[in-house]
Amino acid sequence: DALTGLPNRRYLLERLGAEWTRHRDAGQQLVVMFLDLDRFKVVNDSLGHHFGDQLLVSAATRLRDCLADKCMLARLGGDEFAILSAEASVEDAIELAERILSAFDVPFSIGDHVVFSSCSIGIVSADDDFHGEPADLLRDADTAMYRAKNGGRDSYVVFNQELRRQVSDQMQQEGSLRAALKKDDELVPFFQPIVCTATGRLTALEALIRWRQPDGRVLTPGEFLPAMEGLRVMGRLDLYMLNRIAVILAQPGLAGWPPVHVNCSSYSMTREDFADDVFALLQQHGVAPSRICLELTEGALIAEPEIARRTMQRLADNGVSVVLDDFGTGFSSLSYVHEYRFSGLKVDKSFTFGLSSNPRTRAIVRAIVRMAESLDLRVVAEGVEDAMTLAALREIGAGQAQGYYIAKPMPLAALVEALDSGKATQWVAPSEKM
């Protein structure tokens, strides 16, 4: 590897093949570890690629210093490293992982900067249960690393049968989701009203996906989306929902509907063609861009900030507004509001919940509302579960609200019925139970 001078991926795979033969023929132990620096992208994007490169070189040195003789350290690419350990047990690997994690507790000083960089580690051992190709060991170690990352980073996870089962469950679920995306009766949008806090008038709708199972059960996103996070199928799901919504909005009787918010995964935001796909779809159905609004979380911006920035710019230039979802739960929400072209933000449920009882929460929401006002951003508070909370929002001056107290997400038919009965002009009374 040109940057670190370590063996590269190809070299590692060759060695892995050789050690694998010794493992198979002579019963020699074999452990593979997969390492990935945490938040390396953030460092790289904020301090520059040159700095990122230097951090990788320092990290490589630090890793090498942790290793025993019989280990081989390789750089797989980017911020990914692997360790091949022949004649080592899982216990040895765990010890090594702990040594590495504590070595990374010490910050790196590079030029004028001092940065902390932890890492996440996956460990797999070739044992009797393993029946794959040598390269599959690397894949399993990667899977375990991913778990470590999702579990909060700065830790290690050992690949085991349970994880193998989970991975195959996930693949199966992804398969059935893909199949459902080809039909039109399993994945359906529900709609939840968003109302003006001052007048109670309906101002927008949020589309929330539901999955009708063949046995009649209806799955909520929490039951199937988390496992699909980051997978290609999420991109398909986003376009599927957008298409469903466009078809609905194109119906002649629904010209008076308020804009529909559609949730958008980080997968889509980091895809160069996403904005074009959205426009093509709207055009195909003859739906004006202002009739939809995309909701995204800051997670969608972290992985590929540059692509996300371009995508948002293109969406905004063409009249599709974007709001920042779950505002306040991320780790740098304010900087996102400042850097990207959002038209509004949704105050996360966790703030709304404490609003009527906790003065501190109220102070925070008040500050968010003030800030949004001066930046000309719409504010929607989600998770409004009672009249007191709605009243508090009104008093604070948060423009819009959404939540079970106002209405639960409902199927299209129920929404149409409510709208037909004239609820749009006043979904909740303006001063109800104040």
Given the rule CB under 6 A, which residues bind ligand C2E? 192, 208-209, 220-222, 225, 237-238, 241, 263-265, 295, 325-326, 349, 382-385, 402-404, 409
Among 38, 140, 295, 304, binds Ca ion (CB under 5 A): 295
Residue 137 interacting partner from ligand C2E, Ca ion, none (CB closer than 5 to 8 Å by kind): none
Secondary structure class of 249 (helix, strand, coil) = helix
Size of the site for Ca ion (CB under 5 A): 4
Residue 399 interacting partner from ligand C2E, Ca ion, none (CB closer than 5 to 8 Å by kind): none
b/e for 283-295, b at 16 or more Cβ within 10 A? eeeebebebbbbb
Residue with tokens 């604070």: 396
Residue 325 binding Ca ion, by CB under 5 A? yes
Residue 140 or 206 having the CB closest to Ca ion = 206
Residue with tokens 């709609």: 191
Least distance in Å: CB of 175 to ligand C2E? 19
Least distance in Å: CB of 98 to Ca ion? 37
Least distance in Å: CB of 349 to Ca ion? 7
Residue with tokens 């060759």: 14
Residue 238 binding Ca ion, by CB under 5 A? no
Residue with tokens 């935001």: 269
Residue 111 interacting partner from Ca ion, ligand C2E, none (CB closer than 5 to 8 Å by kind): none
Residue 330 or 383 having the CB closest to ligand C2E = 383
Residue 79 binding Ca ion, by CB under 5 A? no
Least distance in Å: CB of 385 to ligand C2E? 4
Residue 92 interacting partner from ligand C2E, Ca ion, none (CB closer than 5 to 8 Å by kind): none
* Binding segment (CB under 5 A) for Ca ion, from list 120-128, 170-178, 294-302, 400-408: 294-302
Residue 148 or 300 having the CB closest to Ca ion = 300
Residue 428 interacting partner from ligand C2E, Ca ion, none (CB closer than 5 to 8 Å by kind): none
Distance of alpha carbon 117 from its chain centroid, rounded? 21
Residue 75 or 244 having the CB closest to Ca ion = 244
List alpha helices for 8-79, DSSP H: 9-26, 40-47, 49-66
Q: Which residues contact 53 (CB under 8 A, 6 or more apart)?
A: 3
Q: Binding string, 255-274, against Ca ion, x = CB under 5 A?
A: --------x-----------
Residue 92 or 238 having the CB closest to ligand C2E = 238
Which of 399, 309, 388 has the alpha carbon at shortest distance from 347?
399
Residue 207 or 337 having the CB closest to ligand C2E = 207
Among 92, 140, 238, 326, binds Ca ion (CB under 5 A): 326
Instruction: Say if residues 197 and 401 touch (Cβ distance below 8 Å).
Output: yes
The structure tokens listed for 394 are: 């009104």
Report d(CA 211, CA 244) in Å as an integer: 14
Residue 384 interacting partner from ligand C2E, Ca ion, none (CB closer than 5 to 8 Å by kind): ligand C2E
HSE of 98, CA atoms in CB hemisphere, 13 A: 5
Q: Which residues contact 405 (CB under 8 A, 6 or more apart)?
A: 384, 385, 386, 387, 389, 390, 428
Residue 115 or 258 having the CB closest to ligand C2E = 258
Report d(CA 156, CA 146) in Å as an integer: 10
Least distance in Å: CB of 406 to ligand C2E? 8
State the CB neighbour count (10 A cutoff) for residue 230.
Answer: 14
Q: Which residues contact 91 (CB under 8 A, 6 or more apart)?
A: none
HSE of 380, CA atoms in CB hemisphere, 13 A: 26
Residue 379 or 384 having the CB closest to ligand C2E = 384
Amino acid identity for residue 270 in this structure: T
Q: Which residues contact 74 (CB under 8 A, 6 or more apart)?
A: 1, 6, 7, 8, 9, 11, 12, 81, 82, 83, 84
Residue 19 or 295 having the CB closest to ligand C2E = 295
Binding residues for Ca ion (CB under 5 A): 263, 295, 325-326
